[in-house]
Chain A
């Protein structure tokens, strides 16, 4: 009843360019879906990379823990000569010769 009353005063808006146009509507919706799928794929890639990064970080943490464990097992003093020699070369910007490398390693073995 009320709806019928509402329709009596209806303004004729048919001249407006607003009628459903299946083709155009479909084109817009297709474009939306195309953009959404592209976004979803990008997000998936990102998630995959994040997962990979997390796995690599975990692996690095394990390796670091192992290295610390091994280092604690090695008696103090061993390898210090080579380390200080290498540190000296780095500080001086010096590229060691084969002889210098061998000498440093022999010092370490002793």
Chain B
């Protein structure tokens, strides 16, 4: 039987590392997509996830609603990603190349077209608000339904729908040349 988040959090608060590993595995994908939606770089998103989960372990006592642990984890990851983003912005402004970004750019990838599309998508996603990016990634990339997104991120289903609709509209505007007269059904 699968243990609930609340049960796992209670075990973690007793110092049970195995319970933490179960909770992390359950929510890793969500955490990764939240980080990626802010940073648009896999390497940075993975680094942020690592730091954020260690922070979750250290501050598990601050998880006041164990049944909504996923929303708490999402908030910790969001904060960590935000801080990382600010840090990277400063580094870039100072003209210091960031190792992770450089590695991503130099990754051998024969499909130039795909790479260009990825760059366009990254740029378009960058124009969205953080919450919109998270919802569109979880819904349109990961295939989650609004109910699940709402539960995991700690928002209402209505808000999830709204973020998705706004995100899609903005993406279509940014990527107008890639869309061939597709009507928005939302």
Point out residues on A near B: beta carbons under 8 Å. Answer: 2-3, 5-6, 8-18, 20, 24-25, 28-29, 31-33, 35-37, 39-40
Contact = CB atoms under 8 A, between A and B. Distances in A.
B178 to A, nearest CB: 9
B58 interface: yes
A3 B148 CA distance: 12
B77 interface: no
Given A28-B49, A33-B21, A11 B140 contact: yes
A4 B32 CA distance: 26
Interface string B38-66: 00001000100110011001100000000
B107 to A, nearest CB: 8
Given A5-B186, A11-B168, A29-B25, A18 B33 contact: yes
A9 B185 contact: yes
Contacts of A32: 24, 49-50, 53-54, 57
Given A12-B140, A18-B32, A18-B141, 7 more contacts: A3-B145, A3-B146, A6-B164, A15-B118, A18-B137, A39-B58, A40-B17
Contacts, number: 87
B151 interface: no
A13 B140 contact: yes
Main secondary structure of the interface of A (DSSP, over half): helix
Contacts of A5: 185-186
Contact of A9 (B54, B118, B137, B186): B186
A70 B168 CA distance: 85
Contacts of A13: 121, 136-137, 140-141
Contact of B50 (A6, A12, A28): A28
A36 B33 contact: no
B5 to A, nearest CB: 17
28 contacts: A5-B185, A6-B139, A6-B164, A6-B186, A8-B185, A9-B184, A9-B185, A11-B171, A13-B140, A14-B141, A16-B118, A18-B33, A18-B42, A25-B29, A28-B28, A28-B50, A29-B21, A29-B24, A32-B24, A32-B54, A32-B57, A33-B17, A35-B50, A36-B17, A36-B20, A39-B54, A39-B58, A40-B15
A16 B122 contact: yes
A37 B117 CA distance: 41
Contact of A18 (B17, B36, B168, B184): B36
B98 interface: no
Nearest to A20: B29
